[in-house]
Amino acid sequence: MAALAIGVVMAVSSPGARAGLPATYVHLLVVGWLTQLIFGVAHWLFPRASAGAPHGNEALGWAGILLLNVGLLVRAVAEPSALSGARHGLLVTSGALQLVAVLLLVVHIWPRVKER
């Protein structure tokens, strides 16, 4: 919904005002919606990790989802204004948060991608 709302803003704003918005729009859709949906469905659907802990280490999953969303939020705030200069630190933080989040989510799901 956030991505589509930004899409509406992009459609009605002037080219100068929408600088930075296309990248935010794409990443909210591809990371915030698609990738997050994939990991949610994988967490539900993939073979059990073990009889005792069928979903594997859930703390990793929670940490990954939290960091991914914080990273996206930081990006959504910083990126539209990045072209004007001083948001470099926020963008670096956002990239680092999303990278660690993806690493945690992959480590969480990896043991469940296995042959029976």
Partner 1 sequence: MPCLAVLFIRTAMLSLLGGTLLGAFLLAGEPAIVLGFRPLHVELLLVGWGLQLAFGVAYWILPKHATRTPARGAALPIRLAWWLLNGGVWVAGLGLSFGTPPWWVGLGRLSELCAVILVASNAWPRIKPFGAGRPQAGEVA
Residues that bind partner 1 (CB under 8 A): 30, 34-35, 38, 45-47, 75, 88, 91-92, 94-96, 98-99, 102-103, 106, 109-110, 113-116
- Least Å distance between CB 12 and partner 1? 27
* Nearest distance from C-beta of residue 116 to partner 1, angstroms: 6
**Closest distance of CB 70 from partner 1, Å:** 14
Q: What is the distance between the terminal CA atoms of the chain, rounded to a whole angstrom?
A: 38
Q: Provide, rounded to whole angstroms, the least separation between the CB of residue 32 and partner 1.
A: 13
Nearer to partner 1, 53 or 96 (CB): 96
Measuring CA to CA, which residue among 97, 113, 102, 91 is closest to residue 34?
A: 102
- Our CB check for partner 1 shows the closer of 12 and 79 to be 79
Q: Which two tokens stand for residue 6?
A: 């930004």
Phi/psi of residue 89, nearest 5 degrees: -60, -40
Q: Which is nearer to partner 1, 5 or 23 (CB)?
A: 23
Give the angle subtended at the CA of 75 by the CAs of 81 and 38, to the nearest 5°: 145
DSSP conformational letter for 87: T
CA–CA gap between residue 14 and residue 32 (Å, rounded): 25
Nearer to partner 1, 4 or 92 (CB): 92
